[in-house]
Structures are given as structure tokens and as C-alpha cells.
């Protein structure tokens, strides 16, 4: 099914199941331990699995001169050791910046150099500790600020985006701001590690893994191994969090496959926690310069946003300027990216890549500019709203309710009680402040397919390789099929995460929910036609409701259509040119109240509110969970999260959950989420958009702005740790 015209009225609009707050249908499996995660496939193969432990590089760049393996080979229980010398030919793929198995060249710290396979995990770990590796290290580049200052290795990965004459407008602006902000490297820090079990049956490979994008993983694993794609099956029905860190093929899957081939039996590999930070991907650090120029009345005349980030050769930049191209009006604009070559582990997508770090800077800058102008921060944003793409005014937004988000949030949060003078509100030992920030995330869509079955008993089964990373995919896909076929949700079985099913959008980029349910919509439309024809009815006139099909004055049970045999339909949704005609985005307003200890500088979040405009909300209950989880991540990014770089040896020092500090329950206050009534007919037949990444975009800036309002101290260097506040706090007796 092609989606090339805005959706008219369709079966989803009935909203008897879709749009309602259903519990997650996979919830009982998760709380009873019956949902099988990647490392828990104990009886999926005839023979018991062996265990592999990965050995990571002890340098950031250089070469391996010698690997001493004999002691490890003699260790009890060892079945095989795989290195680059014994793995056979491995082919690079575009989605990996560096080889997943290194040697003799080392591209980054903790790059996998070997996997040791033994009968038990403990034996494999002990043997891995017996391997001695000799290196010839090389001098690396690990500091983004140094690279920016030197300038020699900086690349321009895409042409600067210019509208009007930014430099002239900025120089002539009545009120101007020129500030630089820093966001640090960050880890996905999911609870479930990257893990895989692999098994070969002849030349057929099956991997049970934790991966957000089934088809990407299957394709790249086949390409890396140099085998046909149809020889690889990838299974990932339950994923314990990914946040973008499991979008791509990583070393656990490749090394499990290589280890299983070498050991001639199934092998499980789970990356050790330090390797999740250093071996897999992370959100790269940024340095961002923002220049704003405005009239005395607060209309922006010049908007400039430049961002510097670093990556391995072949890696991509952190696109921190993308929201600035679209969020606020202004006739003269500059958006520019610079990419430095660094010898740190690969930087890549992490929840809301681009917009998250970009808004961490832009929305502080907007706060600073509002103060310079003597305007309320909400009023300043409203004055610079736009209903069209600022660089192409003939291209309108399909839906844009940013102003409504801000006004609704201000009323619900009690913004009128905020003191405009920083540092003037006290609650005992706490300085109290409020902050606001706009949230923005583009609405992305992707081709997505599904297969739907109708059995003689009326049971409906949906099959698609879509994944569920704790986001509620099972439930909203079930809701979609139930709505389309007029049956209760309990009558729908949803099967996900297997490459034997039709290729779906996968979980990433905030495209998953809208695209995958639209694919189920397409398959259900095809099945509705088959059902109507089987019942001798006009498909265009048939109504599906309460387990019955009605048309032309006749009514039959849905199950009657399958009495001669199961009916099966398969289709996909393909998106055409509407993205070119309309700018499709999601919007939010984030409000935060903080308390800052007047003596220690400790910051505590007191309450939070997110008001979101994100198309039709398919399931308000699971969508709320998405947003409060994102808000919690925003607390961490604002106050504690930072991968600390050892600038001598080129690795992330705090590479475990003891040193990389994420928010815990005690850090999370009352959180409120409001969804504005919206349906976007330009987005998809579902009239929905994504919301899971929008909930993070802008949160950290709202925290930073609240800290400023509480203390009068402006911090432009994340995270806002107490050492950055202490010197500016008032003297106390």
C-alpha cells in the first residue's frame, strides 16, 4: 500500500481499541519471567550452548604485535579461541565505523580482538584472563576541544545550511547572544547487555540476539560473514532496552557466530559491562556555538548554530543543529556541522540523536536571550513561532502545536508563580527555581510490512519482524489489528522479532510505532478484502465490528470467512512524497522545578511536566511510560551522566554502572504527562507520530534553566554537577 495522499476517514478513526489505555499484552510474560531475552535461550537448540568471553584491546590505537594464546588453550573446558587470524575473511559494512573484530590493527580501546569459548562462562572468563597481548601503541587523538582548536583534521560532513545573510544580520542585531555549550559523551547504559546465542545447522546460521532492527542486523551479519542473507535467521522477540545502542550489528552477534562455527556447537556471548561503553556505540560529545540576534521587541533576526563532534574515520557527526533549522522563525540563518577524527570508540545514534544534545544547547541559549530582552522565556518562544519551514516558507508544517504546548504547560505547572529574579525563592536550605524548554523531534517514517492471519475460530494472528524494546509494540500492533478487524484485543496474537516474518520498520528514530502499525493497517486492509470476498460482500462497503462483518443489509460472523481454511494477507506501507510537501514534526514543552542546596550545591528535581503534541496517541498508557522514561533520562543527562575520557590512553574511565551515574528512584520526582488532542492525516493512515524520543528532547535544558532561576548561576557545561555551582552560591554563616 502506498501512502501518497493525506488520510481520509478510515477504520482507525473509530477508536474503539486504538487510542485507549490498554495494559501491555506482554506484561504478564515479563513479570513472570516467561519472556525470553537474548541470553536466556536455554533449550532452543538440541545441544547445550557453550559460552564465549570477548577479549578487548588494551590500547586505543596501534597494532597487535603478538598474542600469546597457549595458556588459554590449555585452560580447563576451552573449546576454541577465535581471533582475526582464524576467523576467515570478514567484510566491512557501512553501518560499522570500525571492524567488529580487530587485529592486527587496533581502531579503538576495547575493540574485540578475540573470543574464548569454553563449556562454562566461568571457564571462558578464566581462560580469557590467560591471554597476553603485546602492542605497538600509536599516539591518539582523544580531546574534542583540542581538535576544534587545532582545526587541521576537521571535516565538513555536509554543506553549511544558510538562509539570508546571517553574519550581517547578527552584527546589526539590537540584542545579541554569542555563547558556547558543551555536552559530554554519554552511554546508553541499558540494563540488558548486548548478548547473542548463535547456532549453525549446516550452512544455516540462527542468532538469538538483542537487536532493535532485525533486517539491518541480518543483512549486515550476512555481509560481514560473506554468506547469503537467506542463510541467516535473526530472532529478537524481547529486548531489555537499547536506546539506539542496539540499532546495528555489534561484536556480540558476530563473535557468537564465529565462535559457534569454530566450536561446532551453539555459543552464547554477552558483552561485559565495560565493553558496552567502549566496544559498542555511545552518544558523542559536542561543542556548540550559538549566536542569536533579535529586535528589542524579541523577534529573532539572526539564528546561528554550529556544532563540533568527533568520531572514528568513517563515522558520522552528531547532528546537533537539525532542530535549529526548523524550531523558530528568523530570516537570516546558519547551521553548520564540523567533524573531528578522534580515536575514541564509535559515536552513533542514542535516543533522539541530534535533537537531544542540540536542544541541550539551543534551549539554554533561548533562555539566556529572553533574559537579555527582559521577556518571559515562554513569551519569547511564542513570539518566534512559525507554521512553515523557515528555510522554505512554501512548505507548511502538517501539524504544529508548540504554542499550545507552552501555554497549556504554563497553566498546569503554575508558571505564573515563578520569580523572574533568579535566586530569590527559598524553601529552607533549598534555593528553588523553575525552568522551561521547547521539545522538538522530526516525525520519521519507514517502509514497514506485516502478515495477518484469520483462523476458523476467529483468532487473529499478526506476524512482523518489528521489535519491542520495552516500548509497547506488542500492544499497539495488537490494538491496530483488533480495530481493523472488529475484534477484542484478547482475540489477537502478536508475533514479533523474527526475520522469518515480513520486514518492518524496527525500533529506532521514533519511527517504529507509527510505521509498524501502519504496516499492520495495510495488511489488515488486504485481509478485509479477502474476508469480504469470502463472505460474498462488497469489500468497499463492508463494516467490521464486534466480531461481525456487515454490508448490504447482511451480517456474518468474521470467523465464517475462514471456515474453508485460514485466510492470510500480507502487505506493507510505503511512504511517498508527502514528506517533501509538508514538514512533519513533533513538539513538546518541558517544565521543571528544582531545588539547589544553598550550602552544597546539590540539585534535586522537585517536579516535572511534559506537554506533547505528537499526532494520534495509539495507547495513552504506554505512551506515558515512554515519556516519563525519557524525562528520567533527561534528568541524568542534565545532572550526572558523563563518560569521562582518559585523555592519555583514550578510553572511557567510568565504564560500569557504579561509575556512570544514571538516575535512580530517589532522584525521580512527581512526573506529569499531557498529550494534546491531535491527529495528523499527513503522517500515516494511523494519523499518529512518534513520542518516545520527543519526551527526552529539551528536558535537560529545562533542568539547566531551572537551576539558573534557582541560583542565578548559568552553567553551559553539562552535566550540572555541584562543583560548577559552588563558587556562585551565596555565602552562608
Known catalytic residues? Answer: 693
Which residues pair with residue 209 across a beta bridge?
A: 196
In this structure, are residues 554 and 537 in contact, taking their beta carbons and an 8 Å threshold? Answer: yes
3-state secondary structure of 310: strand
> For 535-591, where are the alpha helices, taking DSSP H only?
578-581
Residue 317: closest CA among 341, 334, 339, 288: 339
Please give the backbone phi and psi of residue 280, each rounded to the nearest 5 degrees, phi first.
-90, -160
Residue 132 burial (CB count, 10 A): 12
Cis bond upstream, residue 600 (ω within 30): no
DSSP code of residue 520: H
Residue 183: closest CA among 362, 401, 418: 362
Half-sphere exposure (CA, 13 Å, Cβ side) for 467? 33
Query: To 5 degrees, how large is the angle CA 275–CA 85–CA 94?
Result: 60
Query: To 5 degrees, how large is the angle CA 198–CA 201–CA 205?
Result: 45
Radius of gyration of the chain (CA): 27
CA of 265: how far to CAs of 46, 190, 514, in Å?
A: 10, 29, 40
CB-based burial, 193-215: b 16+ in 10 Å, e otherwise: bbbbbbbbeeeebbbbbbbbbbb
Query: To 5 degrees, how large is the angle CA 674–CA 676–CA 681?
Result: 140
> For 486-581, where are the alpha helices, taking DSSP H only?
512-534, 578-581
As a whole number of angstroms, the distance between CA 483 and CA 488 comes to: 8
Residue 284: closest CA among 245, 253, 248: 245
In this structure, are residues 256 and 100 in contact, taking their beta carbons and an 8 Å threshold? Answer: no
CA of 612: how far to CAs of 405, 421, 441, 514, in Å?
A: 6, 28, 11, 16
As a whole number of angstroms, the distance between CA 2 and CA 447 comes to: 10
Residue 614: closest CA among 674, 685, 690, 673: 690
In this structure, are residues 524 and 516 in contact, taking their beta carbons and an 8 Å threshold? Answer: no
As a whole number of angstroms, the distance between CA 211 and CA 221 comes to: 12
Q: Which helix (H) or strand (E) holds 56?
A: strand 50-56
- Say how many residues make up the chain: 733
3-state secondary structure of 403: helix
Residue 323 burial (CB count, 10 A): 27
Task: Provide the edge-to-edge strand list for the sheet that holds 585-597.
Answer: 426-427, 430-442, 585-597, 603-613, 670-675
Residue 462: closest CA among 449, 446, 471: 449
Please give the backbone phi and psi of residue 247, each rounded to the nearest 5 degrees, phi first.
-70, -30
Distance, CA of 691 to chain centre = 11
3-state secondary structure of 190: coil
In this structure, are residues 626 and 662 in contact, taking their beta carbons and an 8 Å threshold? Answer: no
Half-sphere exposure (CA, 13 Å, Cβ side) for 179? 21
CA of 198: how far to CAs of 39, 44, 173, 275, in Å?
A: 10, 10, 62, 19
Which residues have C-beta within 8 Å of that of residue 687, sequence separation ≥ 6?
Answer: 7, 12, 13, 615, 616, 679, 680, 681
Amino acid at each position: 500500500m502506498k501512502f501518497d495522499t493525506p488520510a481520509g476517514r478510515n477504520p482507525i478513526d473509530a477508536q474503539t481499541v486504538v487510542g485507549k489505555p490498554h495494559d501491555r499484552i506482554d506484561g504478564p510474560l515479563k513479570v513472570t519471567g516467561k519472556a525470553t531475552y537474548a541470553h536466556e535461550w536455554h533449550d532452543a537448540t538440541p545441544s547445550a550452548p557453550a559460552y564465549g568471553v570477548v577479549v578487548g584491546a588494551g590500547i586505543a590505537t596501534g597494532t597487535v604485535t603478538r598474542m600469546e594464546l597457549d595458556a588459554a588453550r590449555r585452560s580447563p573446558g576451552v573449546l576454541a579461541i577465535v581471533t582475526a587470524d582464524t576467523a576467515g575473511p570478514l567484510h566491512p559494512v557501512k553501518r560499522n565505523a570500525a571492524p567488529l573484530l580487530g587485529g592486527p590493527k587496533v581502531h579503538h580501546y576495547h575493540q574485540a580482538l578475540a573470543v574464548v569459548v569454553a563449556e562454562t562462562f566461568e571457564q571462558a572468563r578464566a581462560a580469557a584472563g590467560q591471554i597476553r597481548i603485546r602492542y605497538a601503541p600509536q599516539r591518539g587523538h582523544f580531546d574534542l576541544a583540542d581538535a576544534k582548536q587545532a582545526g587541521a583534521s576537521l571535516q565538513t560532513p555536509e554543506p553549511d545550511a544558510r538562509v539570508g545573510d546571517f553574519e550581517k544580520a547578527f552584527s546589526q542585531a539590537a540584542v545579541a547572544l554569542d555563547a558556547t555549550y558543551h555536552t559530554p559523551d554519554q552511554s546508553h547504559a541499558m540494563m540488558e547487555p548486548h548478548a547473542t546465542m548463535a547456532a549453525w545447522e549446516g550452512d544455516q546460521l540462527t542468532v538469538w540476539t538483542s537487536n532493535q532492527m532485525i533486517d539491518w542486523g541480518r543483512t549486515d551479519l550476512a555481509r560481514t560473514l560473506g554468506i547469503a542473507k537467506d542463510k541467516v535467521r535473526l530472532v529478537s522477540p524481547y529486548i531489555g532496552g537499547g536506546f539506539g545502542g542496539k540499532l546495528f550489528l555489534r561484536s556480540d552477534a558476530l563473535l557468537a557466530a564465529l565462535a559457534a562455527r569454530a566450536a561446532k556447537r551453539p555459543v552464547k556471548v554477552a558483552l561485559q559491562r565495560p565493553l558496552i561503553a567502549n566496544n559498542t556505540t555511545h552518544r558523542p560529545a559536542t561543542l556548540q556555538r550559538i549566536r542569536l540576534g533579535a529586535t528589542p521587541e524579541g523577534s529573532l533576526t539572526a539564528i546561528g548554530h554550529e556544532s563540533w563532534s568527533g568520531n572514528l574515520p568513517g563515522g558520522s557527526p552528531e547532528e546537533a543543529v537539525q532542530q535549529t533549522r526548523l524550531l523558530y522563525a528568523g530570516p537570516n540563518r546558519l547551521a553548520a556541522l564540523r567533524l573531528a577524527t578522534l580515536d575514541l570508540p564509535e559515536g552513533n545514534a542514542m535516543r533522539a540523536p541530534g535533537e537531544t544534545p542540540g536542544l541541550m544547547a539551543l534551549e539554554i541559549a533561548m533562555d539566556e536571550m529572553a533574559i537579555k530582552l527582559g521577556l518571559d522565556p515562554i513569551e519569547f518562544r511564542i513570539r518566534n513561532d512559525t507554521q512553515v519551514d523557515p528555510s522554505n516558507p512554501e512548505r507548511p508544517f502538517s501539524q504544529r502545536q508548540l504554542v499550545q504546548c507552552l501555554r497549556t504547560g504554563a497553566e498546569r505547572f503554575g508558571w505564573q508563580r515563578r520569580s523572574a529574579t533568579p535566586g530569590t525563592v527559598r524553601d529552607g536550605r533549598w534555593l528553588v527555581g523553575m525552568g522551561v524548554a521547547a521539545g522538538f523531534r522530526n516525525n520519521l517514517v519507514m517502509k514497514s510490512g506485516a502478515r495477518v492471519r484469520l483462523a476458523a475460530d476467529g483468532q487473529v494472528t499478526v506476524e512482523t519482524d518489528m521489535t519491542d524494546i520495552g516500548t509497547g509494540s506488542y500492544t499497539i500492533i495488537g490494538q491496530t489489528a483488533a480495530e481493523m478487524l472488529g475484534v477484542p484485543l484478547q482475540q489477537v496474537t502478536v508475533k514479533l522479532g523474527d526475520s522469518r516474518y515480513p520486514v518492518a520498520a524496527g525500533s529506532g528514530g521514533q519511527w517504529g510505532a507509527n510505521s509498524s502499525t501502519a504496516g499492520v493497517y495495510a495488511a489488515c486492509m488486504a485481509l478485509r478484502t479477502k474476508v469480504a470476498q469470502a463472505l460474498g460482500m462488497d469489500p468497499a462497503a463492508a463494516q467490521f465490528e464486534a466480531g461481525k462483518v456487515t454490508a448490504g443489509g447482511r451480517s456474518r460472523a468474521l470467523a465464517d470467512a475462514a471456515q474453508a481454511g485460514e485466510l492470510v494477507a500480507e502487505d506493507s506501507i510505503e511512504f511517498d512524497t508527502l514528506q517533501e510537501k509538508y514538514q512533519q514534526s513533533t513538539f513538546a514543552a518541558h517544565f521543571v522545578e528544582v531545588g539547589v542546596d544553598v550550602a552544597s550545591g546539590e540539585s534535586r528535581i522537585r517536579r516535572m511536566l511534559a506537554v506533547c503534541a505528537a499526532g494520534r496517541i495509539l495507547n495513552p498508557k504506554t505512551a506515558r511510560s515512554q515519556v516519563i522514561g525519557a524525562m528520567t533520562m533527561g534528568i541524568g543527562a542534565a545532572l550526572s551522566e558523563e563518560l569521562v575520557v582518559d585523555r592519555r590512553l583514550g578510553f572511557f574511565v567510568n565504564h560500569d554502572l557504579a561509575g556512570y551515574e544514571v538516575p535512580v528512584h530517589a532522584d525521580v520526582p512527581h512526573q506529569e504527562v499531557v498529550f494534546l488532542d491531535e491527529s495528523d492525516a499527513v503522517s500515516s493512515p494511523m494519523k499518529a507520530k512518534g513520542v518516545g524520543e520527543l519526551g527526552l528532547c529539551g528536558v535537560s535544558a529545562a533542568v539547566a534553566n531551572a537551576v539558573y532561576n534557582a541560583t542565578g548561576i548559568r552553567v553551559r557545561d553539562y552535566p550540572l554537577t555541584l562543583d560548577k555551582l559552588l563558587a556562585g552560591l551565596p555565602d552562608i554563616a
